[in-house]
Every structure is written in C-alpha cells, then in structure tokens.
Amino acid sequence: MNDNHNHNDNQNNDIISQFFNPSESEPQRAEDFRTGYVAIVGRPNVGKSTLMNHVLGQKLSITSRKPQTTRHRITGIFTNEEMQAIFVDTPGIHSKEVKMINERMNQTATSALADVDVVLFVIDSLKWVGDDELVFAKIQNLDVPVVAVINKSDTIKQKGELFPLLEKLHNTGVFADIVPISALRGHNLDELVKVIGKYLPIAEPIYDSEQITDRSERFLASEIIREKVMRTSGDEIPYDLTVQIDTYKDEPAHQDPKTGKWRKAVTFVDATIFVERQGQKVIVIGDKGEKIKQIGMDARLDMEKMFGKKIMLTLWVKVKKGWSDDDRALTSLGY
C-alpha cells in the first residue's frame, strides 16, 4: 500500500515538474531582461530592410535595388537571453510626394516614431542628401534615444573618410550612440544589438521567443509576390503595381474519397497583381507567359521556405487605372 502510494507521488511530481521546471532547451532569461519597440527610419534605399532581415537572421522585409520597395510597417521580433527588440521597418521618408501612395508611405514612416523606445536613423556612409535632412528634422526632438546607424561602412577604403560624418553627427547632440555597420555583410550588427539593448526598458517579453513577426502569412505572401514582380521585371515596371491576396486557404492532409489515396496538406493562394496600364500588364506577363510563370515559381518557393508548407499559387494580372493616386483604392488595397 505504501509502495503504491509512493509510486503515485513520484509520478505526480514528474508531471508537476514538466510544468514548473523549464527544460534545458528553453532559453534562460536574464534577471534584467529588456523589451521594447525599435523604429528603423531613413530615406529610401539606405538598407533599412536589409538591416532588419540580417539582425533577425531571416528574410522578412522584401528588398530590391529600387528605392521605396518597403511600403508598409513591417514588424520583426528579435529575442535572445537578454532582450526582445520589436523592430518596426518603415518606408523610406522622401520629399517627392508625387502621388497619394507616396503621402501614405511618409505618414506610415512618421507614425512609427510614436510609442517606440529607441529609434535607429539609418544613413549611407558617404552620401548625405536632402531626404536625410528631412528625416533628421523629424527625429532631432524626440524624447527617446536615437542611434545613428552608418550603413555601408565596408565601402569606405580609408578610415579617415568616415571622420567628417562622425564629427557632424556627434556635434548635433541628437544621437545617444553612433554605430557604423554593413547591413548586407552583417558587419558590426552584434554591436548594434548590444547598443539597442542598453536603451530598452526592463520588462517581460511581449512575444514568444520563437515568433519573428506579428504579420499574417497572407500579408507576407503578398509582399513576396510583389518583390518577385519588381525583381523579374527589372526597370520596366515602376511602382504602379500592387498585389492583392484573393484566397488563402489551408487544406489539411486528407484521404481522397474517390481514390482512397492520402493527399498531403497544401495551402492554396490566389493573388492578383494590379498595374495601372495595359502596357505594364503585357510586361508582367511576358512573352508567351514566361515572365509570370517565373514570378509564380520564385514566389512559391520563397513562401514554402518561409511558411514551411506546400503552396499552390495562382496569379492573375489586371489593370486598375490610377490606383496609386486614389484614396479609396489605396484604402481597399491595404495602404
């Protein structure tokens, strides 16, 4: 009787320990763990998205050589034993608001400066232009620490070339820290993460340690497709294109009632690529549909890699005249 009772107690203790004793594989948090929001701002095409992607160790924001690739606020979550930094990648702030979409993008970037704990002001190592001044004007009077991130520092042949810029930034009295990096090559990003950690408040993590974004798969799928259109079309297609996900449906593994065979789990994605002119539609589709096939294949492979599941992707190309300068159209398309 006593032996059985002791055996049951041991079983109960084992069960309880599973809930209250963290396993060795679980990350051990520091006592002064820090959590906060970090806005990444700068003019177009200075490497903001590349920076976030490399810090996360995974591609989250789409990239291309063309400016203003990022149109939305993209949240990336970085977690280690000491901190959780919730990065907000933003569209490049620019002065030429040619269309309503440019105005919306600037509003999106500027609004990211509210309710964050740290701001990263990303600049090119050897190129300070008018739009840099525009961004600087927006960040110089903030009540939170601002870190100047000098990107593409690996392109500087002689160290002395960087000194004038370092002195200029230091003399403003605006920046809590100045960190030279190379976002593309991953140079000095560990140091940047440490600097960010200094300014985050002590707080419990907001997100699970494995989570890297709060954006939906549906949204990420649309961004992946848009990137592939921009990359595949080269300079032929301007920014008069957007992508709308029409269907995003997960179909679990199941047995075919007719054949009796088991079908693997698959996600069906139907998407429409909108352009503004008929000539742009022809370019996206390509000769005999070759270009749209390539776009679909590249996008599908990226989705399967990111989401870890089988994707069936169907793409359509349609003309929606003037969508990028129409308030109602922009809202309906998620801008």
Which amino acid would we find at residue 271? A
Express each pLDDT in 12-66 by its tens digit: 444 333 333 444 445 577 788 999 999 999 888 888 888 998 999 888 875 655 5
Which amino acid would we find at residue 140? Q
CA distance 8 to 1: 11
Cα dihedral value 147, 148, 154, 158, nearest 10: -130
* Closest CA relative to residue 308, chosen from 278, 275, 265, 269: 265
Confidence of residue 215 (pLDDT cuts 50, 70, 90): confident
DSSP-derived 3-state class of residue 6: helix
On the CB side of 101, CA atoms within 13 Å amount to: 20
What is the token pair recorded at 124? 């090119």
Confidence of residue 6 (pLDDT cuts 50, 70, 90): very low
pLDDT at 335: 62
CATH number of 217-332: 3.30.300.20
For 34-199, give the CATH class.
alpha beta
On the CB side of 70, CA atoms within 13 Å amount to: 32
Confidence of residue 4 (pLDDT cuts 50, 70, 90): very low
- Sign of the CA dihedral 56, 61, 64, 67? negative
Express each pLDDT in 224-234 by its tens digit: 998 899 888 76
On the CB side of 148, CA atoms within 13 Å amount to: 25
Highest mean pLDDT among 50-54, 241-245, 269-273: 269-273
What is the token pair recorded at 295? 């776009």
Express each pLDDT in 76-132 by its tens digit: 999 999 999 999 887 666 556 556 666 666 666 666 678 899 999 999 887 888 888
CA distance 67 to 51: 15
Q: What's the alpha-carbon Rg for the chain, to the nearest Å?
A: 24
pLDDT at 191: 96
DSSP for 185-211, written as a single string:
TTBTHHHHHHHHHHHSPB---SS-TT-
Q: Are 330 and 104 in contact (CB under 8 A)?
A: yes
* Closest CA relative to residue 308, chosen from 227, 230, 210, 242: 210
CA distance 102 to 70: 11
CATH 3.30.300.20 residue ranges of the chain are: 217-332
CATH 3.40.50.300 residue ranges of the chain are: 34-199
Instruction: Please state, in angstroms and as integers, the Cα–Cα distance from residue 111 to each residue in 72, 88, 129, 297, following that order.
Output: 11, 11, 22, 36
CA distance 303 to 238: 24
User: In the predicted model, what is the mean pLDDT of the chain?
Assistant: 82
* Closest CA relative to residue 96, chosen from 130, 48, 138, 136: 130
Span 267-276, average pLDDT:
94
CA-based end-to-end distance of the chain: 70
CA distance 98 to 104: 11
Express each pLDDT in 301-313 by its tens digit: 999 999 999 999 9
Confidence of residue 67 (pLDDT cuts 50, 70, 90): low
What is the H or E stretch that residue 146 is in?
Answer: strand 146-151
Confidence of residue 10 (pLDDT cuts 50, 70, 90): very low
